Chain A
Amino acid sequence: MTAEIGHFALILSLCVAFAQACVGLLTSHTTPVVNVMRRGATLQSVLVAVAFFCLMWGFIQSDFSLALVQGHSHLAKPMLYKISAVWGNHEGSLLLWVLIVALYGTAFAWLEPRRTTRISDAFYIRVLMVQAFVSVAFLTFLVLTSNPFARLIPPPFEGQGLNPVLQDPALAAHPPLLYLGYVGFSLVFAQALAVLLAKDKAHEDWAALMRLWTMVAWIFLTLGIALGSFWAYYELGWGGFWFWDPVENASLMPWLAATALLHSLMASAKRDLFSGWVLLLAILTFCLSLSGTFLVRSGVLTSVHAFANDPARGLFILLILAGFALWGLTLFARHFPRAPEDTSFSLISRESTLLIQNIGLSVATATVFIGTIYPLVLDALGGGKISVGAPYFNSVFAPLLIPFLILIPFAPLMGWGKGDAPAAAKRLAGAAVFSVLAVVALYIMRPTPPLALAVMGAALWVVSASINAWRQKIQRLGWQGISAPAYLSHIGFGVLIAAAIAASVWRSETIVVAENGQIVHIAHYALRYDGVKEIAGDNYQSEQGQLVFVNSGRRGQILHPERRFYDAEQNTTTEAALAQDIGGTLYAVIGEREQGKQVLRLWYHPFVNFIWIGAMIMALGGCSALRKQLKK
Chain B
Amino acid sequence: MTKIFLTFWMLLTSVNAAHALSVDVPLSNPTLEARARVLFHELRCPVCQNQSIDDSDADLAKDLRRYVRQSLVQGAGDDDIRLSLQSRYGDFILLRPRVAPSTYLLWGAPLLMLVFGLYIGFRRKR
Cβ–Cβ < 8 Å partners of A240 in chain B: 55
User: B106 and A513: CB pair below 8 A?
Assistant: no
The answer to whether A36 has its CB under 8 Å from any CB of chain B is no
A388/B106 contact (C-beta < 8 A), A359-B121, A395-B96 known: yes
Residue on A with the closest CB to B55? A238
Given the complex of chains A and B, what is the CA–CA distance between A595 and B21 in angstroms?
10
Given the complex of chains A and B, what is the CA–CA distance between A367 and B97 in angstroms?
15
Fill in one digit per residue for B72-107: 1 if any A CB lies within 8 Å of its CB, else 0. 000000000000000000111111110000110111
Cβ–Cβ < 8 Å partners of B121 in chain A: 355-356, 358-359
Cβ–Cβ < 8 Å partners of B42 in chain A: 389, 391
The answer to whether A384 has its CB under 8 Å from any CB of chain B is yes
Given the complex of chains A and B, what is the CA–CA distance between A363 and B114 in angstroms?
6
Cβ–Cβ < 8 Å partners of A360 in chain B: 114
Determine, out of A186-194, A216-224, A370-378, A421-429, the stretch whose residues face the partner at the interface.
A370-378
Cβ–Cβ < 8 Å partners of A245 in chain B: 50
A592/B52 contact (C-beta < 8 A), A389-B96, A390-B95 known: no
A594/B23 contact (C-beta < 8 A), A362-B117, A367-B109 known: yes
* B side interface size, CB within 8 A: 41
User: B50 and A363: CB pair below 8 A?
Assistant: no
Given the complex of chains A and B, what is the CA–CA distance between A243 and B124 in angstroms?
40
The answer to whether A302 has its CB under 8 Å from any CB of chain B is yes
The answer to whether A67 has its CB under 8 Å from any CB of chain B is no
Query: Which of B92, B109, B114 is in CB contact (< 8 Å) with A370?
Result: B109
> Could you tell me which residues of chain A, from 456 to 503, have a CB within 8 Å of some CB in chain B?
none
User: B102 and A378: CB pair below 8 A?
Assistant: yes
The answer to whether B24 has its CB under 8 Å from any CB of chain A is yes
Given the complex of chains A and B, what is the CA–CA distance between A455 and B23 in angstroms?
35
The answer to whether A385 has its CB under 8 Å from any CB of chain B is yes
The answer to whether B1 has its CB under 8 Å from any CB of chain A is no
The answer to whether B118 has its CB under 8 Å from any CB of chain A is yes
The answer to whether B125 has its CB under 8 Å from any CB of chain A is yes
CB distance from A304 to the nearest CB of B (A): 8
How many A-B residue pairs lie within 8 Å, measured between CB atoms?
112
User: B23 and A303: CB pair below 8 A?
Assistant: no
The answer to whether B113 has its CB under 8 Å from any CB of chain A is yes
User: A400 and B50: CB pair below 8 A?
Assistant: no
Query: Which of A370, A391, A511 is in CB contact (< 8 Å) with B23?
Result: A511
Residue on A with the closest CB to B125? A347
The answer to whether B57 has its CB under 8 Å from any CB of chain A is yes
Query: Which of B90, B93, B106 is in CB contact (< 8 Å) with A371?
Result: B106
The answer to whether B122 has its CB under 8 Å from any CB of chain A is yes
User: B102 and A383: CB pair below 8 A?
Assistant: yes
CB distance from A398 to the nearest CB of B (A): 11
Residue on A with the closest CB to B54? A238
Cβ–Cβ < 8 Å partners of A236 in chain B: 55
Most buried by B among A302, A304, A359, A360: A359
The answer to whether A315 has its CB under 8 Å from any CB of chain B is no
Given the complex of chains A and B, what is the CA–CA distance between A178 and B92 in angstroms?
31
Query: Which of A243, A385, A390, A400 is in CB contact (< 8 Å) with B91?
Result: A385
Residue on B with the closest CB to A371? B106
Fill in one digit per residue for A315-350: 1 if any B CB lies within 8 Å of its CB, else 0. 000000000000000000000000000010001000
CB distance from A410 to the nearest CB of B (A): 16
> Could you tell me which residues of chain B, from 32 to 91, have a CB within 8 Å of some CB in chain A?
41-42, 44, 49-52, 54-57, 90-91
Given the complex of chains A and B, what is the CA–CA distance between A378 and B101 in angstroms?
12
- 26 A-B pairs with CB atoms under 8 Å apart are A236-B55, A238-B54, A347-B125, A356-B118, A359-B118, A367-B109, A370-B105, A374-B103, A374-B106, A385-B92, A386-B103, A387-B91, A387-B93, A387-B97, A388-B97, A388-B106, A389-B96, A390-B52, A392-B97, A400-B110, A400-B114, A511-B25, A591-B23, A591-B57, A592-B23, A594-B21
Point out residues on B near A: beta carbons under 8 Å: 17, 21-26, 41-42, 44, 49-52, 54-57, 90-97, 102-103, 105-107, 109-110, 113-114, 117-118, 121-122, 124-125
Q: Which 8 A-B pairs have the closest CB atoms?
A: A389-B95, A391-B96, A359-B117, A238-B55, A385-B92, A386-B91, A367-B110, A363-B113
